[in-house]
A and B are shown apart, each in its own frame.
Chain A
Amino acid sequence: MINRIVRLIWLGISAALIALPLHAEEQYFGIPSSRVGPYSAMGTGYYGGIIDYLTYVNLKGGVNGVKLTWSECETEYNAARTVECYQRLLNKGNQKMVVFDTLGTPGAYAVIGRMAQDQVVLAQYGYGRTDAADGTVWPWVFNAAGHYWGQIGVKLAFMAQKEGGIPKMRGKKIVHLHIDTAYGREPLPAMRQFAKDWGFTLIEIAIAPPGLEQQSQWLQIRQERPDWVTFWGAGSGMNSTAITTAARVGFPREKMIYVTFGGAEEDMLPAGDAAKGTYVSANAVPGDFPLIADIRKVVYGAGKGNMQNKERVGTVYYNRGVGAAIMWIEALKNAQAIHNKKGKAVTGPEFRDGYEALDMSEAKLKELGVLGMLAPFKLSCAKHDGAEKWRMMQWDGKKFQLVSDWVNPPNQALIRSMIEESAAKYAKENNLTPRSCPPSS
């Protein structure tokens, strides 16, 4: 009798062990969110969009049956805490993170070195180190939604269009008003080159963070009487203050163009009527696109939405987050296909291959329900900057109106050569041997 019971127990344990691999595979993501502090408006929208899309994919059955799991860590948009969160999120049980998105240049610069050693993809979604667009030197870093050099090119082209053509830019005066950090100065190499080529005067004015007082900068601008101001701020405090101070010195908002990370509803609304007319460049535009509407239905309908304020679903930061998460999931699908791991979790190097194989054609974007929200693009081994396209928007006092289609920066060959030159310099300084990529890429 006892032997029979023991045998039954053994049978039960064996059956349970055999059944274990039948459990759904899981792919783990580490999310360094910034939900509190001065950058919370950006963090809650962006990471809310990411988490909602991951939830949406899970509710639809996962990625070929692979369930997505994630852990969050609060960085407060602080570079030191981003490093701490990176280390904390890197491993979870026997799973390892495959992609990390810091949502900011300071954080990206802080972890960029160690991520190559850990073989984790740094997905800079329209921010960060620009020369990382050269995949031969930076195999683990991507700028899928473009970079700041391309973005400033699009803005200058927009100004030229308004002025009546590039030749009319000669003799014009442009102020680059920026937060006094590496992020604020990131577009300057490209701007200086354009100033030289097009013959306009570039005036660089810095704002010390947090930038709630900008009277002296705007008085300088008033005295200089520039034709345009490009604003490169961070945090809705600095961003909305720039608008209200521009109004105080009587500078027309129709002559101000905001950076992607200062150009969201949360940056415009606090400034009230003063914000009306402000231009913004966008790599993900707001709106209720088919996918966003479906997320609202599927995720929020099931009571699993991440946004505390549901009205922010479909706004600039939210849609940008969804766009970033789409890249993760499409890269995961690619990685499973390339490495014959359909229905299985992938490793960092496999994910990297999948990310590098991203081909977001218009047909693909339409299939996903985001045609018009994101720009089509294709990555390759050497070319890690994806879309290189932006849309210009203008704040009408209540919401953004699209005022252009997806536009490439002018003289892309020049920007590419600057990227390759900067990346080569970095490789030389750091004793790196650039990898070789197929000529077609």
Chain B
Amino acid sequence: MNVQFFIEVLVGGLLSGVMYALVALGFVLIYKASGVFNFAQGAMVFFAVLSFVGFMELGLPFWAALPVTVVLMVATGMLTERFVLRPLVSQSEDTLLMATIGLAFVIEGMAQLVWGVDVRRLDLGIRDEPIGWFMDSTGILVSQLDITAGVVAGLMVAILALIFSRTKVGRGLRAVADDHAAALSVGIPLKHIWGLVWATAGIVALVAGMLWGARSGVQFALIGIALKALPVLIIGGFTSVPGVIVAGLIVGAAEKLTEVYFGPMVGGGIEGWLPYVLAVFFLLIRPEGLFGEKIIRRV
């Protein structure tokens, strides 16, 4: 076996995993606050980055378009809380899940209606080609965009982990996730918590969308990356922010290594389904995921 090539594939997989984890973070935020899998997260990623590029096309410079898009995503989060979630307080998790499925279609349609369906290019000024000196000295391909994605993901996880564990808002979030009604009864402002968390998930979606958009162009297909986030969530645990990073790395490395070394034997295309096989495996042996909270229910 060519060790250098193995390391190259492994590093490539880990870096891809970081990109998956960025998308998965948004799911964790919503799940922690409402106990529901937000089916609309992929649509939010698409809407956020499409709006960002759209504002730039309208003439706003990069540094003006960014805060405007953040405001838009915060407003979207607040409106979602007001018109979708608030009327469904204390409803079952299934009801909330169905609401997010509907929300996904609304956001997808609205994004295309407002900004059109043209494919856009997003140039962040970060090169996505191998860094010459690094490749020369190690033989491994890493781009500036890979490094940026790793740093951004690390920062976001650190900030979010601090918020969840060390702040009053974080404790409120955890209480709401446990039981909406009980949290309300002890005076936790549910609407503020939900509004805040949806707004934060919108900002996370913007960051993920910008990095994915810079690599693959800003287009509808970005919605599909949410599908990659699902096995990451199952493996890492729906409630663990650091968990999605670890799971992202596992999924990224496993799918790349398997595709490269076993793909040619079976005609390729393994990485499309391997993460789901891994997820099923984890569901069987550790349903709460690697870092998720163990679910204990009284009979």
- A contact residues vs B (CB 8 Å cutoff): 35-38, 40-41, 44, 180, 204-210, 212-213, 215-217, 219-220, 222-223, 235-238, 240-241, 244, 247-250, 266-267, 269-272, 274, 308-309, 312
Other-chain residue from A209, A215, A308 in contact with B256 (beta carbon distance below 8 A): A215
B192 at the interface (CB under 8 A from A): no
Closest to A272 in B: B121
Interface of chain B, helix or strand or loop or mixed? helix
Query: Once the chains bind, are A244 and B219 in contact (CB under 8 Å)?
Result: no
Chain B residue numbers with a CB within 8 Å of A312 are 118
Chain B residue numbers with a CB within 8 Å of A44 are 117
* CA gap between A212 and B214 in the complex, in Å: 12
* CA gap between A309 and B264 in the complex, in Å: 42
Chain A residue numbers with a CB within 8 Å of B218 are 270
Chain A residue numbers with a CB within 8 Å of B12 are 215-216, 219
Query: Once the chains bind, are A249 and B130 in contact (CB under 8 Å)?
Result: yes
Query: Once the chains bind, are A270 and B118 in contact (CB under 8 Å)?
Result: no
Q: A41-B119, A219-B9, A309-B118 are in contact. Are A236 and B215 (CB under 8 A)?
A: no
Supply 19 A–B pairs (Cβ within 8 Å), ascending by A.
Answer: A41-B219, A44-B117, A204-B267, A208-B271, A210-B224, A212-B216, A213-B16, A213-B228, A215-B12, A215-B13, A215-B16, A216-B9, A216-B255, A216-B260, A219-B9, A219-B260, A248-B143, A269-B120, A269-B121
Interface of chain A, helix or strand or loop or mixed? helix
Chain A residue numbers with a CB within 8 Å of B121 are 269-272
Chain B residue numbers with a CB within 8 Å of A220 are 259-260, 263-264
Listed from nearest, the 6 A-B pairs whose CB atoms lie closest are A270-B217, A208-B272, A237-B221, A206-B268, A180-B269, A216-B259
B residues 199-218 in Cβ contact with A at 8 Å: 212, 215-218
* CA gap between A438 and B212 in the complex, in Å: 57
B70 at the interface (CB under 8 A from A): no
* CA gap between A51 and B269 in the complex, in Å: 37
Chain A residue numbers with a CB within 8 Å of B268 are 180, 204-207, 217
B273 at the interface (CB under 8 A from A): yes
- B153 CB to closest chain A CB (Å) equals 16
- A114 CB to closest chain B CB (Å) equals 29
Query: Once the chains bind, are A216 and B119 in contact (CB under 8 Å)?
Result: no
* CA gap between A312 and B15 in the complex, in Å: 36
- B4 CB to closest chain A CB (Å) equals 10
B179 at the interface (CB under 8 A from A): no
Chain B residue numbers with a CB within 8 Å of A240 are 119, 216-217, 219
